[in-house]
Amino acid sequence: MTHGPTAATTRRLLAALAAAPESSDCPAVTALHEATGNIRAFLTAADQDDIPAIPAAVLHQWRCDLDRHHQDLEHNHPQAWARWRVPGTWLDSHLRLRSLIAHEVGKAYWDDIPDIRYDAIDIERYLWGAR
């Protein structure tokens, strides 16, 4: 059984999953650095202002951005993709974040919810599975 997360904990864990990529000359990595920097900045500001929810449209945009840059990395820079697509890397964190976001966006769509409360995101289950 998981415990209900607080909004602050969820925001901070999401920001941690949006880890900055390693420095690289690869354009896809540079794009991911910018995209995840924007995600972290948004979540940090939301945490400072104790914002209780995030618009589903914002999460959808993040998912689209991550999808686009991950596909670019995988298809156009396969050596870089293979190097970082292992557990514990920044790319592993990004893929977990993208999966979590996709699930939340899907739920919001089907339930017709415009804003997703941070404390309603079962981040423990996403990251560590049901216990």
Number of domains in the chain: 1
Residue 2 lies in a domain: no
Structural domain including 21 reads 7-128
| Residue 125 to residues 61, 120, 121, Cα–Cα distance (Å) | 23, 12, 9
Is residue 94 included in any domain, yes or no? yes
The overall average pLDDT reported for the chain is: 91
Indicate whether 37 belongs to any domain.
yes
Q: What is the mean pLDDT of residues 4-23?
A: 89
pLDDT of residue 1: 40
Whether pLDDT at 111 is above 90: yes
CB within 8 Å of 127: residues ≥ 6 apart: 13, 96
Within-domain flag for 1: no
β-sheet bridge partners, residue 54? 116
Query: Averaged over 114-125, what is the pLDDT?
Result: 90
